[in-house]
Amino acid sequence: MAAPATSPPASANLRRIVAASLIGTTVEWYDFFLYGSAAALVFNKLFFPGSDALVGTLLSFLTYAVGFAARPLGALVFGHYGDRLGRKKLLVLSLLLMGGATFAIGLLPTHATVGTAAPVLLTALRLVQGFALGGEWGGAVLLVSEHGDARRRGFWASWPQTGAPAGQLLATGVLSVMTALLSDAAFTSWGWRVPFLLSGVLVIVGLWVRLSVDESPVFRAALARAEARRAEGAALEKMPLVAVLRHHWRDVLIAMGARMAENISYYVITAFVLVYATSHTGLSQQTALNAVLIASALHFAVIPAWGALSDRIGRRPVYLLGAAGVGVWAFPFFALVDSHHFGPLLLAVSVGLVFHGAMYAPQAAFFAEMFATRMRYSGASIGAQFSSVAAGAPAPLIATALLADYDSPTPIALYVIAAALLTLLAVGVARETRSRDLTAVEGNAVEGDAVAGEGRTAGPDGGASSAVPSGGA
């Protein structure tokens, strides 16, 4: 069994790969989060006018949720072709789709200009965004995981995860600057378009970096073995989706459960808090944006630290700590926001994102280590993105509806706690994956064959050691 991925690659090459994944994911998350922030601040007025303020926000968040609905489709399509053609090609395509859709949103006419066609066009572009992001995440984290040093996989794979807070930081920062420089009327009239149009520049930078990296050596080796089997007359490989559901159905369910608290807590802390702080506590948009902006910088900093810790003590302990943390923090979070002051609001968001980082950092390596190479893109993407339909998609919508019905944060806190309990259960029954060798977790997607090499682990020197049960079926 070849083991190119278990030995540390040249540091310069690995840094370039990490940079390519990080820059690409930052651009994609910037585009995605920019929509969420705009949905909370201006889309209710521009595309759904004439409604009660909270009702307009609900409709705005509904289009926001549509993007999540498209993510499973993106996971299926990009996962299938990413497992057949390679990670790099699909990552370039996802970046182009996301950037093009975001740029187009910046050019959209509003309801005042074209009537009901405006929200329809907005929803269509949001679907494109969701489709692209559904394929982006799996490829970005796998490109790093399959290149990286096995001993520090959690650390290196956590860097693409920092693209989320970096994108949030960038999106919130640009919006914060625009709201600070412009009057409310000017921002609502044209200022909101500028951050969307800036996406075009960011995509060019992201493409330039992403095109410079090599395909994953683990994938190339697996592809070569598959081609050799075909040349020898072996049966054709099953579709990656079919192979995942046959050999890794348990891991898909675990990944979906693991994402519930991570996804729900994040969108309550970063998107819904903009609505809650401005409509329920009377804080200004600028104050709320600044709190999320500063907390996102802290979030960016702690993710690699959590990833490194997962290399030392395991993925599960770090993940469980984060899930328990967001559950315990739910009630203090809203109590601090209700203080009507910036300091407590900043503390509430910052601590929430630190706990979120403990789940998000090891997630990349954790999910990658669950699946065999020729079905890894599909497996990781399906497990991550299908859960987003039930978790991240409706989170701001449900939180806003609960606030409208009860005029209290208590039901929202209970909602976050319920998600945390579900994640604790899912991760609690998972197997630890920290020692797995990605070249050994190969699998065989051929009908009737055993899953070759499943469950072999990486020894202290990074080589394959004795077999233990895999996370597969």
Cα 245 from chain centre: 22
pLDDT at site 86: 78
Q: What is the pLDDT along the chain (473 residues), one digit of tens a residue?
A: 343 444 445 566 778 888 888 887 888 788 877 887 787 778 878 887 765 566 667 777 777 777 778 888 888 888 888 888 877 888 888 888 988 998 999 999 988 898 888 888 988 998 898 898 888 888 888 888 887 677 889 999 999 999 888 988 888 788 888 888 888 889 888 999 999 998 888 888 888 877 877 777 777 777 777 777 667 665 555 677 777 878 788 899 999 999 999 999 998 998 889 889 988 888 888 888 889 889 999 999 999 999 999 999 999 999 999 999 999 999 999 999 999 899 999 999 999 999 999 999 999 999 989 888 778 888 888 888 888 888 877 888 899 899 989 989 999 999 999 999 999 999 999 999 988 877 664 444 333 333 333 344 344 333 333 333 333 33
Cβ atoms of 321 and 439 within 8 Å: the answer is no
pLDDT of the residue at 197: 92
Sequence-distant (6+) residues with CB within 8 A of 286 are 176, 179, 180
Q: CB of 208 within 8 A of CB of 214?
A: no
**What is the C-alpha separation between 458 and 147, in angstroms, rounded?**
15
Strands (E), 329-458: 456-458
Q: Which residues pair with 456 in a beta bridge?
A: 467
Q: What is the pLDDT of residue 200?
A: 86
Question: Which phi and psi angles does 121 have, rounded to 5°?
Answer: -65, -40
Give pLDDT, residue 458. 40
- Cα separation, 438 vs 141, in Å, equals 13
Kindly state the greatest CA–CA separation across the chain.
70
Give the model's pLDDT for residue 111: 85
Structure tokens at 471: 């996370």
305: left (phi over 0), alpha (psi -120 to 50) or beta: alpha
Whether the Cβ atoms of residue 24 and residue 220 lie closer than 8 Å to each other: no
pLDDT for residue 461: 34
Dist CA 197 CA 188 (whole Å): 15
